[in-house]
Amino acid sequence: MFQNIFDLAELSVGQHFYWELAGYQVHGQVLITTWVVLAIIATLALLGNRNLKETPEGFQNLNEYITEFVRDIAKTQIGEHDYLSWVPFIGTIFLFIFVSNWSGALLPWRLIEIPNGELAAPTNDINTTVALALLTSLAYFYGGLSKKGIGYFKRYVSPAAFLLPINVLEDFTKPLSLSFRLFGNILADELVVGVLITLVPLVVPIPLMLLGLFTSAIQALVFATLAGAYIGESVEDHH
Query: Which residue range(s) make up the domain with 68?
Result: 2-235
pLDDT tens for 141-179 read 999 898 888 888 888 877 777 778 888 888 888 989 999
Lowest mean pLDDT among 51-65, 90-104, 164-178: 51-65
- Statement: residue 211 has pLDDT above 60: yes
The model's pTM is 0.84
pLDDT of residue 21: 75
Q: Which residues contact 235 (CB under 8 A, 6 or more apart)?
A: 78, 79, 82, 143, 144, 147, 148
Number of domains in the chain: 1
Higher pLDDT, 112 or 234: 234
CA distance 93 to 162: 35
Q: For residue 24, give the 3-state DSSP assignment.
A: strand
- Statement: residue 82 has pLDDT above 60: yes
